[in-house]
Chain A
């Protein structure tokens, strides 16, 4: 996304919201013991669908909903194919989503940018975070966590790991779809933003913030958004995200939140 007709604060909010939503989707799947390396593809699908519909005169609300549904349906199809595979095969399969990111095309133009407001996407991200927190504490959410911890033991208590993964992937795609559909209204919307770097930003949000809580990806999204707008780093935000993700994965895999948990336990 290019900084186009928005101030830095609005840009920060847009990025926080979009990366936070994509990151929450990655987090949901990670809880089930799988790494989703292509979640931004569902955002790209939603963005392209929404932009195409708006460009044809469809009311914005309908176009946004259609984009989200398209993303969720694609996520469910992917989940149906990949949920029964092992961890390595799932990660490889999620890489296949890069091809969607590379080939999706979307219209741009001033007509698309009349409705965009960062407040909406921020509200969506926060609402999604709260929803994810409640989901994690629900029966289904605990079942998903159990599958990620020990699939065999989870089966032993009657949990179907394939079903839980399918739910997680579909929900993750739906959240990415919300991000994508709302991003189509962003001034300066550019579908190429979802080519891999959307995935890196989403993963970075999860790893920076911490995987232990639904608010971890949102905290991480704040850091990613700051890197994208800060004068020192904004020109090389993609590289900064990638390098910082690498460093965090090795040095601080629990993310920023883990620092607080450890301090609280002491």
Chain B
């Protein structure tokens, strides 16, 4: 929402598309960080108590619902976003959509490289594997959470911008929760703690949704795949190596 609103704002002021996109990603990242600090961090601080480990999940859902109700849907500047249709044979796609897709693929590659090849990525994987051990080894939990909130929100913002640029994406959408649902389904189906798994899951969900007759049917397909994944392949199609080896052992 923040990313889409920022993109609309920039485009309404006749800024170039790339400026709008960068502004949108930055806005989305900052909004995600603010949400993490205000909502999830206090819930994480006291994760015991009567609600136990469910506390951050409930806080997150409440925040999502509040935002979904209170945040106005941004106006989509169709005159800019529809400009430039590229046709290949009988297929046509907006130039912006194609550019958005290419940028998204590049972003996925960048995230993979960040997680696999940087100190930040190493610390992130350490925290995910064993938080007390990572902490004892000097990995700062909250600084890592802040950086991860920024990165994850930036990825979400990029996804929103890519979808925002697709014609008629928001038509027929009844709630803002279909994106989180599709994202979770992609991770659950593709594989836990696995970037290749998440990418594969994302493609499977996207293909299923594209061929669904209506937007709501597409969401139903994503939900059914999520439930099926959790019931039949609880670790996903391609879980992280350590999970596969744990199963073999």
Q: Do chains A and B touch in the complex (CB under 8 A)?
A: yes
Beyond A85-B234, A89-B230, A245-B58, whether A254 also contacts B50 by CB under 8 A is: yes
Partner of B223, one of A34, A85, A99: A99
Partner of B61, one of A37, A78, A210, A211: A37
- Which chain A residues border B51 with CB–CB below 8 Å? 30, 207, 211, 249, 253
Query: How distant is the Cα of A98 from the Cα of B62 in the complex, in angstroms?
Result: 15
**B184 near A95: Cβ-Cβ < 8 Å:** yes
**Majority-rule SS of A interface residues:** helix
* Interface membership of A197, Cβ < 8 A: yes
* Interface membership of B18, Cβ < 8 A: no
Chain A residue with Cβ nearest B42: A250
The number of chain A residues with a CB under 8 A from chain B is 52
- Which chain B residues border A91 with CB–CB below 8 Å? 54, 57
**A103 near B63: Cβ-Cβ < 8 Å:** no
CB within 8 Å of A: which B60-77 residues = 61-63, 65-66, 68-70
Chain B residue with Cβ nearest A216: B50
CB within 8 Å of B: which A82-102 residues = 82, 84-85, 87-89, 91-93, 95-100, 102
**B184 near A102: Cβ-Cβ < 8 Å:** no
**A96 near B58: Cβ-Cβ < 8 Å:** no
Question: Chain A's nearest CB lies how many Å from the CB of B46?
Answer: 7
Beyond A89-B188, A102-B219, A102-B220, whether A82 also contacts B62 by CB under 8 A is: no
**A96 near B216: Cβ-Cβ < 8 Å:** no
Query: How distant is the Cα of A81 from the Cα of B232 in the complex, in angstroms?
Result: 8
Query: How distant is the Cα of A204 from the Cα of B51 in the complex, in angstroms?
Result: 12
**B50 near A212: Cβ-Cβ < 8 Å:** yes
* Interface membership of A35, Cβ < 8 A: yes
* Interface membership of A33, Cβ < 8 A: yes
Query: How distant is the Cα of A8 from the Cα of B200 in the complex, in angstroms?
Result: 51
Partner of A246, one of B63, B68, B228: B63
* Interface membership of A258, Cβ < 8 A: yes
**A246 near B39: Cβ-Cβ < 8 Å:** yes
Query: How distant is the Cα of A103 from the Cα of B43 in the complex, in angstroms?
Result: 32
* Interface membership of B59, Cβ < 8 A: yes
Which one, B21-29, B116-124, B146-154, B174-182, is touching chain A? B174-182
- The residue among A97, A99, A243, A254 with the most chain B CB atoms within 10 A of its own CB is A99
Partner of A100, one of B50, B63, B178, B223: B223
* Interface membership of A195, Cβ < 8 A: yes
- Which chain B residues border A255 with CB–CB below 8 Å? 50
**A96 near B69: Cβ-Cβ < 8 Å:** no
* Shortest Cβ-Cβ A-B pairs, 8 listed: A99-B223, A81-B231, A242-B66, A96-B223, A246-B62, A242-B65, A245-B62, A35-B54
- Some 29 contacts from A to B, beta carbons below 8 A apart, are A30-B51, A34-B54, A88-B57, A91-B57, A95-B184, A96-B185, A96-B222, A98-B223, A99-B181, A99-B219, A99-B224, A100-B220, A100-B223, A103-B220, A195-B174, A195-B175, A196-B68, A197-B69, A200-B61, A203-B61, A204-B62, A211-B51, A241-B65, A246-B66, A249-B43, A249-B62, A253-B46, A253-B51, A253-B55
